[in-house]
């Protein structure tokens, strides 16, 4: 049986994935950020900390956070989900709805339609304000009636004989308030996706609705969350402890996600397995099910190296959302420090009195 190359020094930087357990989960005070006297060393941390962008587009970004604690990474995730604001429909004024969808269900469906509006350009609406203003509210209307198409041929499909059978998000029209038309264009504030199906109707049914979009955060309601999801995982590392060739090589490849294990021909004509890209290993540990392979692989996770993924709903690109999350965390920390200073001053005053 091959001997693992896992040692004490490696245990400080790697987590060992065993068949039925996880080993070497040392506490965070393992010297990564500490100086000789055991206190946190900012300069030492700054030298080790890195951000590496792996892929990025308008909706999704994957990047590495290297040299940082899990608590901070998780704080970014939670802030993205619940504390970075966005615009969403909060008030739905239904003047007429003769479709089969109940008013409350229709209002809920409309509230979940993501809007392109940039929440950074708006203020929070006051709780006692029923109508809102041009600095804190976006107003829309949805007025649709299903009817028969008089110009359609009697032999045409039923979908062509009717008009407005399907109600889509593209039929939601923006109603500028105050000077909003001078600042924004419809494409700046309209629904991000134009093909979201809101309801189906038959001739004679109609909707007449006014919608108010306001600024909010995900902790109040999920519709205000600017991300579809945000998650992270530790960087996988796979080590082959012995040569795996021919049939075993093919079997080993099937134990992992596509692209993790590669195959190459040796000079002798055999097929040999090698680690092609361990990054996208899903930690299934299927290899431990095979007695002839379980001793050939060492699975690890690199401590303090996080693969972070952000999927935006589309109002703001994911890199901007991450910057907003960092800014939010910074402001929260400054607010906490100020409150602690105020408490300290208050305590001194009481002591002197």
pLDDT on residue 1: 44
Residue 115 gets which letter from DSSP? Answer: B
Q: What is the DSSP letter of 289?
A: G
Would 149 be classed as within a structural domain?
yes
| Angstrom distance (rounded) from CA 328 to CA 333 | 9
E strand or H helix at 209, and its extent?
strand 206-216
Confidence of residue 29 (pLDDT cuts 50, 70, 90): very low
Name residue, tokens 């008013």. 103
Q: Is the pLDDT of residue 26 over 80?
A: no
Cβ–Cβ < 8 Å for 319, 121: no
Q: Please say which residue of 174, 198, 225 terminates a domain.
A: 225
Q: Indicate if 137 and 259 belong to the same structural domain.
A: no
Residue in 333, 325, 280, 309 with CA at minimum distance from that of residue 59: 309
Please check whether residue 314 lies inside any domain of the structure: no
Is 44 a member of any domain? Answer: no
How many domains does the chain divide into?
2
Tokens of 46: 């700054």
Can you give the residue range of the structural domain that contains 282? 243-294
**pLDDT tens digits along 146-184:** 999 888 788 777 777 889 999 999 999 999 999 999 999
Q: Are residues 98 and 157 in the same domain?
A: yes
Instruction: Give a yes or no: residue 319 inside a domain.
Output: no
Q: Is pLDDT at 111 greater than 70 in this prediction?
A: yes
Confidence of residue 48 (pLDDT cuts 50, 70, 90): confident
What distance in Å separates the CA atoms of residue 328 and residue 339, rounded to the nearest whole number?
Answer: 16
Q: What is the pLDDT of residues 72-104, one digit of tens each?
A: 999 999 999 999 999 999 999 999 999 999 999
Q: Do residues 166 and 249 share a domain?
A: no
**CA distances for 329 relative to 66, 77, 86, 220, 336, angstroms:** 18, 11, 17, 18, 11
Q: In 136-189, which ranges are E strands? A: 138-145, 147-148, 162-163, 166-168, 173-175
Instruction: Write the CATH number for 149.
Output: 2.170.120.12
User: 183 with 92, same domain?
Assistant: yes
Q: Are residues 103 and 221 in the same domain?
A: yes
Domain match, 256 and 148 both: no
Residue bearing tokens 């091959």 = 2
Q: What is the pLDDT of residues 260-317, one digit of tens each?
A: 999 999 888 899 999 999 998 988 889 999 999 989 999 999 988 999 999 999 999 9
Rounded to an integer, what distance in angstroms lies between the CA atom of residue 109 and that of residue 200?
Answer: 13
Tokens read off for 17? 């994935």
* Token pair listed for 284: 């299934």
Looking at the domain assignment, is residue 70 inside a domain?
no
Per the document, the length of the chain is 353
For helices 318-352 and 70-82, angle between their N-to-C axes, nearest 10 degrees: 110
The conformation of residue 150, written as its DSSP 8-state character, comes to T
Instruction: Examine the domain organization and report whether 112 and 219 are in the same domain.
Output: yes
Residue 93 included in any domain: yes
CA distance 307 to 217: 25
The answer, yes or no, to whether residue 128 has pLDDT greater than 80, is yes
Task: Write down the mean pLDDT value for the chain.
Answer: 90
> Tokens 């899990």 identify what position?
70
Is 77 part of any domain? no
323 falls within a domain: no
Asked if 173 and 286 sit in the same domain, the reply is: no
């Amino acid at each position: 049986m091959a001997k693992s190359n896992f040692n004490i020094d490696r245990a400080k930087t790697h987590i060992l994935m065993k068949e039925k357990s996880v080993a070497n989960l040392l506490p965070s005070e393992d010297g990564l950020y500490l100086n000789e006297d055991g206190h946190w060393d900012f300069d030492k941390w700054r030298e080790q900390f890195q951000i590496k962008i792996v892929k990025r587009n308008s909706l999704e970004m994957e990047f590495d956070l290297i040299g940082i604690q899990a608590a901070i990474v998780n704080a970014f995730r939670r802030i993205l989900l619940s504390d970075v604001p966005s615009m969403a429909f909060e008030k739905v004024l239904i003047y007429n709805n003769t479709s089969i969808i109940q008013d409350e269900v229709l209002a809920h469906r409309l509230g979940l339609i993501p809007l392109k509006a940039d929440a950074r350009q708006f203020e929070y609406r006051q709780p006692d304000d029923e109508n809102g203003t041009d600095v804190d509210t976006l107003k829309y209307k949805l007025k649709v009636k299903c009817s028969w198409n008089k110009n359609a041929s009697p032999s045409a499909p039923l979908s062509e004989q009717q008009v407005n059978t399907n109600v889509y998000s593209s039929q939601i029209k923006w109603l500028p308030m105050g000077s909003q038309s001078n600042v924004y264009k419809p494409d700046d504030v309209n629904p991000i996706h134009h093909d979201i199906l809101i309801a189906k109707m038959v001739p004679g049914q109609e909707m007449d609705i006014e919608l108010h979009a306001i600024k909010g955060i995900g902790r109040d309601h999920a519709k205000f969350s600017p991300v579809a999801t945000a998650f992270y995982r530790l960087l996988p590392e796979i080590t082959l402890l012995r040569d795996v060739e021919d049939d075993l090589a093919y079997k080993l490849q099937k134990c992992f996600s596509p692209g993790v294990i590669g195959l190459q021909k040796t000079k002798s004509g055999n097929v040999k397995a090698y680690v092609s890209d361990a990054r996208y290993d899903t930690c299934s540990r299927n290899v431990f099910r095979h007695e002839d392979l379980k001793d050939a692989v060492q699975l690890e996770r690199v401590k303090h190296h996080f693969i972070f993924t952000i999927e935006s709903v589309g109002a703001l690109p994911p890199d901007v959302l991450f910057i907003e999350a960092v800014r939010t965390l910074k402001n929260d920390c400054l607010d906490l420090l100020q409150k602690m200073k105020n408490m300290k001053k208050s305590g001194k005053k009481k002591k002197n009195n």
